[in-house]
Structure 1
Amino acid sequence: MSTPTTTTTTTITAVAAPFFVMERFPEPELNWSTPWSDQFEAYVYCNPTSMPLIKSWQWQLLPPPPFVREFNHWNSSTRPEINSYALLGSDICISVNGVGTYSLDTASHTWTKVANWTLPFHGRVDYEWEECKDSQLVNLGSGTFCILRFFHTHNQRNGCNIAVFTGVEVMPRVQEDATGEVQLHMISHKSLCHQSKTTTIDSVF
C-alpha cells in the first residue's frame, strides 16, 4: 500500500468520489497516540489549499476500526482478516474473521461496530437489493436459529421479491484470559435465497 509522506489532520472537502484502501491483514496498533492509521486511507480528489481552482488527488489517513487497537484481538498468532466488504449507501461495511462486523461512515470517517457476527460471504459483496421489511429470527431449538431477511429489487425487467434464509448456531465460548468469562459465539451456516415475481414470503414460524 502506498503511504503518504506526511500526516495531516486538515479537513478537506472532496469534489469527487474517493477511493478507500485498507489492509486485508492489518497489523496491531496497540500503543498509537494518533487517531490516524496508515493501514486505512482514502484517495480523495479535493481542494487541499484555500485556492478553489486548484484540485488534485490526495492521500488522507483514516482512523482504524476499533479492533486494530484492542488488546483482546491480538492474543494469538493468527492476525484478524477482513474477509468481506460491501458498500451500503454511503457507508462501507467490513467483516473481520473472528471479530465481527464494522461500518465506516464515509462522511465523518467514524467506525461503528455493527455486531459480533460476520457476513456469510468472502471478498467483495455487491449489495443491490432494498430491504423492504424487518428481519425475523426463528428459534429452531438446541441453540440453532434461522434469520430471515426480506428484500425487493426495482429493476423493471427482473424486479422481484426476495427472501434470504441464513442458518446460525449460538454456542458458549470461554474467554482465554484470566477472567474465564463465558460469552455467546454465533456461527453462520448456509444461506438460501428464494425469489419470486408473483408471491411474497411474509413470515416464518
Structure 2
Amino acid sequence: MKRLYVNLVTRNWESGIYALRRLNPDVHLFYQSRNDAKEVAEINTMDSAADDSIKMKSAADANNKTKRSSPRMHSLRPLPKPIAKFDPSPSGLWINDGLEWFELLGPRRSESRVVNANVAGDTVLYDADEGIILNLPSLHEPKGTNPVCLSITHPDAEEDALYVMDRYPGRALARRNTGGPGMHSCFEVLECRPSSRFLDDSMKGWGWRPLPPPPFIYEHGYEPTRIMSYTVVGDGTTLCISSDRNGIGTYCFDTVRADDTHRLGWDYRDEWRHVGNWALPFYDKAEYVPEFKLWFGFSPPRPNHLCAVDLSTMDHGQPPIVHHVWEDLDQPEEEDWVPTHFRILNLGSGKFCVAKIISAEATGMKFSVLTGIEMVHDKDDQSLRMFKHKSKRYMFSTPDVIHWVI
C-alpha cells in the first residue's frame, strides 16, 4: 500500500497544544524520477568538491582544517497546516506534562488513524480521513514516554490492533512493590470488540486489554531495563523486543494461534518465549518490507546509520544478520550533533522517509531532518542500492516543535 502522507506531530511550547500535520512526500521528499535524483546528487557532489577546494585553500592560509560540507538541504518552511489539535490536559489531574506518545493504528488504513495518550493514560483515536475524534477508554496503566508501540493485523479480523508496552517493563510494578500485576500491566493491546446490538458503531467497541508482561520482570534481582529495539516478525502476528542490557536478550510474543473451532480460524495465544541471549542489531523500531524480505532500521552505535537486517535466522535460534549499513548522507555541519529521535517510514514501492530529530550539544540547537530515499535491487547482482532524493530541515526556532514523525 502506498502512503499518501507523512504525519508530523508538533507541540507549541507556548500553549502546550499538539497539532497533527500531513506532509505530501511526493512533493517535499521525492523528485519525479530516480534519474532526477541521481542527476541532482551528481551536481551536489561537484558543488561540494568545489566548495571544499575553496574552503581548504582558505583554511590553509589560517592553518586550520575544514570539514567536508553536507549535501544541499532545503528548509521545511512553512510547516503544513494543522488538520487537528490536541489538548493534553489529563482528566482529574492538575499537572500537564503533555502527551506521552502518538502512534499510527495501522497498517490496514495506513496513515489515516492515529492514537495518543497523556500522562494520566487517557487515550484518543483520531481518523484523519473522516475528521472524527473518538475518546477511548483509559489505559489500565500509563505507559510512560515513547513506549513500544506495534500495530498487528490479525487474519480476517475487521480491525487492526495496537500493542503498547512501557519502554521499561515492570517499572510501575517496582514502584508498587507488589507480588503480581493484578489488573495493571506494563503491556496492553487496543482492540475492537465485536459489535453488539447495543453498539451502532463498531468503533465504540474499542477497548484496552491487559496482557502478560515479559517474564524477565519476575526474575530475582530484576531492575526496570530499557527495551532497546522492537519489531514485528513471523507472519506479522508476532512481536519481538530486545535489550542488550542486564542479560535480557531477545523475546517474542505470539499474539495468536491456529484454532479450527473458532469462527476466524484462530484464537488469542498471548504467550512469551525467549529467543536468544543476543540483542537485535538495530536501535528502536524496525520496519519489515516484504518486497526486500528485510527489516529496515537504524544501527545501534551513534550516529545510528540506516541499516537492513535479516531476522529470518531467528527461526532457528541464530542471531540476525546485518545485510547493509548506509552511512549518513545528511550529516549536519555541527560536529557534536546527536540524533534524539528517529523513525523510518515505509511509503511503499521501495520508497521511505527517514526522519531524525537532532540536537547539537554545544549550542543547544535542535532541528529535524526528513529525507526521501528509494531502495532498488541491482539488476546485475541483486544487491540492494539506495538512492537519495530530497532532504528537508526544520529548525526549532519557532514555538512549534516537531515531536514525532509517524
TM-score range, shorter chain: 0.5 to 0.7
Q: 1:95 aligns with which of 219, 225, 242?
A: 242
Corresponding residue number in structure 2 for 1:85? 230
Match of 2:162 among 7, 14, 19: 19
- Residue identity in the other structure for 1:44: E
| Amino acid in structure 2 at the alignment position of 1:71 | H
1:31 aligned partner: 179
Which of 253, 256, 278 in structure 2 is aligned with 1:104?
Answer: 253
2:278 matched residue in structure 1? 117
User: Which secondary structure state, in structure 1, belongs to the residue aligned with residue 229 of structure 2?
Assistant: strand
Task: Quote the Cα distance in structure 1 between the aligned partners of 2:180 and 2:252.
Answer: 22
200 and 105 in structure 1: CA distance in 2 versus 1, 3 angstrom threshold: same
Amino acid at match of 1:24: R
SS at match of 1:47: coil
Letter paired with 2:180: W
Relative to total residues, which structure has the larger helix share, 1 or 2? 2
Q: Which residue number in structure 2 is paired with residue 46 of structure 1?
A: 193
Paired AA for residue 179 in structure 2 = N
The residue correspondences of 1:179-194 to structure 2 (distance < 5 A) are none
SS at match of 1:71: coil
Partner of 2:57: none
* CA distance 1:44–1:127, shift in 2 (3 Å): same
Determine which structure has more spread, i.e. the larger CA radius of gyration: 2
Match for 1:130 among 293, 304, 322? 293
Asked if the contact 1:41–1:61 (Cα under 8 Å) also holds between the matched residues in 2, the reply is yes
Q: 1:124 to 1:5 in 2, by over 3 A?
A: closer
Q: Give how far 1:198 is off.
A: 2.5
Deviation at 1:197, TM superposition (A): 3.6
Contact 1:86 1:93 in 2 (8 A): yes
- More off after superposition, 107-116 vs 46-55: 46-55
- Judge conservation of contact 2:140–2:185 (CA < 8 Å) in 1: no
Distance 1:5 1:149 in 2: 38
CA contact (8 A) 1:80 1:97 kept: no
For 1:4 and 1:124, the matched residues in 2 are separated by 22
Question: How far, CA to CA, are the matches of 1:147 and 1:103 in structure 2?
Answer: 14
1:199 and 2:199 are equivalent in the alignment: no
Q: Which moved more, 1:119-128 or 1:21-30?
A: 21-30
Alpha-carbon distance in structure 2 between the residues aligned to 1:43 and 1:50 = 21
Aligned residues of 1:16 and 1:44 also touching (Cα < 8 A): yes
Tell me if the contact between 2:140 and 2:184 (Cα under 8 Å) persists in the aligned partners.
Answer: no
CA distance in 2, matches of 1:23, 1:71: 20
Q: Give the gaps of 5 or more residues in structure 1.
A: 7-13, 136-145, 152-156, 159-194
Q: What stretches of structure 2 of length at least 5 have no aligned partner?
A: 1-118, 122-137, 142-156, 257-268, 295-309, 314-318, 325-348, 351-376, 384-406
**TM-score, structure 2 as length reference:** 0.29
Q: Which has the higher strand share?
A: 1
Q: CA–CA distance in 2 between the matches of 1:58 and 1:126? A: 26
C-alpha separation between the residues in 1 aligned to 2:229 and 2:321?
A: 20
* Number of residue equivalences: 139
Offset of 1:102 from its aligned partner?
0.8
Change (3 A) 1:92 1:148: closer
> 1:112–1:37: structure 2 CA closer, same or farther, 3 Å change rule?
farther
Question: Taking structure 1 as the reference length, what is the TM-score of the superposition?
Answer: 0.53
Q: Paired residue for 2:300?
A: none
* CA shift for structure 1 position 94: 0.7
Q: Percent identity?
A: 27
Aligned equivalent of 1:138: none
Q: 2: distance between equivalents of 1:60 and 1:49?
A: 18
SS in 2 for 1:67: helix
